[in-house]
């Protein structure tokens, strides 16, 4: 991997990226509220299931497919896919999350002049825009390897989930690092498998997650926005 490519992916995977990922738990806080997650072992099980059963079956392959559309300048197909992804969100919170983080990453792309001006102009016209569509834009613009790009996205997702578990369960820092380290292989497996998923095979079937997310909208006490 070229140094510039690696640096770009590390930048995108950084928890310091100012797009608001730290403020969302993606259903984990609701799982804690119902005691489905109550210790380090159940937290790791929950995060691992989200990675393999949700992220790897939709979001990761969707990013790879959007990267190809950006690369091919197939903007109409990219817009249609973006609209499909937004419609696939199971709750108002999940929809709001991907829109807010997508908008924030678009703003960052403009400020740092990531990608060519012509494609950034197209990017700005897509409203609302989902986070994976913008992530695909950046990685495609930097000519990043698709599998490495998916690993970066998945690692960032897992790291945010671990950070949420530290606060919501709560867990200690060492327990969090054990979870993160224990999912290294699962992250690589999810990224590799996502490349084999076709556009017609994307799946968002996760009924328990959707129910918990909907419950979270009216949860009495909350630390996170999802």
pTM reported for the whole predicted model: 0.96
Averaged pLDDT of the chain? 95
What's the number of domains the chain is made of?
A: 1
**16 inside domain:** no
| Residue 1: pLDDT band with limits 50, 70, 90 | confident
pLDDT digits (tens, 9 = 90+) for 195-204: 999 999 999 9
Residue 8: how many CB atoms within 10 A of its CB?
A: 21
**7 inside domain:** no
**17 inside domain:** no
**15 inside domain:** no
**59 inside domain:** yes
**63 inside domain:** yes
CATH number at residue 127: 1.10.4190.10
pLDDT digits (tens, 9 = 90+) for 49-75: 999 999 999 999 999 999 999 999 999
**1 inside domain:** no
C-alpha 135: how far from chain center: 9
- Output Rg (C-alpha) for the chain, integer angstroms: 17
pLDDT digits (tens, 9 = 90+) for 4-32: 889 999 999 998 899 998 899 999 999 99
Q: Work out the percent of the chain whose per-residue pLDDT is above 70.
A: 100
Q: Which domain holds residue 202?
A: 23-216
**149 inside domain:** yes
């Amino acid at each position: 991997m070229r140094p510039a490519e690696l640096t770009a992916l590390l930048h995108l995977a950084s928890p310091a990226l100012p797009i608001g990922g730290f403020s969302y738990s993606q259903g984990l806080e609701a799982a804690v509220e119902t005691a489905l997650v109550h210790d380090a072992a159940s937290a790791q099980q929950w995060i691992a299931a989200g990675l393999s059963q949700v992220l790897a079956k939709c979001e990761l392959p969707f990013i790879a497919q959007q990267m190809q559309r950006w690369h091919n300048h197939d903007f109409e197909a990219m817009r249609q896919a973006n609209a499909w992804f937004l419609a696939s969100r199971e709750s108002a919170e999940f929809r709001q999350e991907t829109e807010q983080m997508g908008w924030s990453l678009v703003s960052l792309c403009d400020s740092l002049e990531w990608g060519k001006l012509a494609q950034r102009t197209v990017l700005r016209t897509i409203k609302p825009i989902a986070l994976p569509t913008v992530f695909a834009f950046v990685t495609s613009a930097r000519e990043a390897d698709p599998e490495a790009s998916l690993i970066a996205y998945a690692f960032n997702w897992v790291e945010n989930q671990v950070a949420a578990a530290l606060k919501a369960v709560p867990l200690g820092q060492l327990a969090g690092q054990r979870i993160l380290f224990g999912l290294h292989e699962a992250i690589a497996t999810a990224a590799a498998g996502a490349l084999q998923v076709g556009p017609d095979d994307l799946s968002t079937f996760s009924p328990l997650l959707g129910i918990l997310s909907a419950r979270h909208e009216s949860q009495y006490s909350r630390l996170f926005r999802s």
